[in-house]
Amino acid sequence: MCSTPQIREATAEDLGAIEGIYNHYVIHSACTYQETPGSLEERRTWFDAHGPGYPIIVAEIDGKIVGYGSLSPFHSRSGYRFTVENAVYVRDEFRGRGIGGLLLGELIRRAHLLGFRAIIACVDAEQTASLRLHERHGFVRCGLFRQIGFKFGRWLDVVYLELVLPPT
């Protein structure tokens, strides 16, 4: 049995593992609508755009990155500055072990500490595990966009969920 996952701030040294986790889902899943695998250079640009106000965290077991999560700006207009979008990805062979819940819980905690008011999740409608994960953490469904994504030769629906955080 493996050790308990440790959640920590991501570093530049983690980018290869993060990109590997993400690219698995690019190739095999509709949980991301990116259709071609990304590069380490693209991941570095993504990482550099985050910084302390938009954390990236990783879950690590016995020195191996088994998942990551991030908070990103929801929209570029200033009126949205108190709203973030979350992303959580777990290495395929570690799914179903509670790692996604640990990552999402930590992202919620950090969002609150950073003074954000709301977290938005955009989830493919067929990703029932991700929908359940968000709902277990208090997110509520607030929108369904039909056939706005296209991947694997078919149209896909997106569910928007929101978590309104208490005032700080």
Tens digit of pLDDT for each residue in 26-67? Answer: 999 999 999 999 999 999 999 999 988 999 999 999 999 999
b/e code 108-134 from CB counts within 10 Å (16+ = b) = bebbbebebbebbbbbbeebeebbebb
Confidence of residue 104 (pLDDT cuts 50, 70, 90): very high
pLDDT of residue 2: 60
What pLDDT sits at residue 123?
A: 98
Strand duo 118-124 + 154-164: pairing: antiparallel
**Helical H segments across the chain, by residue range:** 15-28, 40-48, 99-113, 128-136
Q: What is the dihedral of CA 24, 86, 108, 64, to 10 degrees?
A: 20
pTM score: 0.95
pLDDT the model gives residue 168: 77
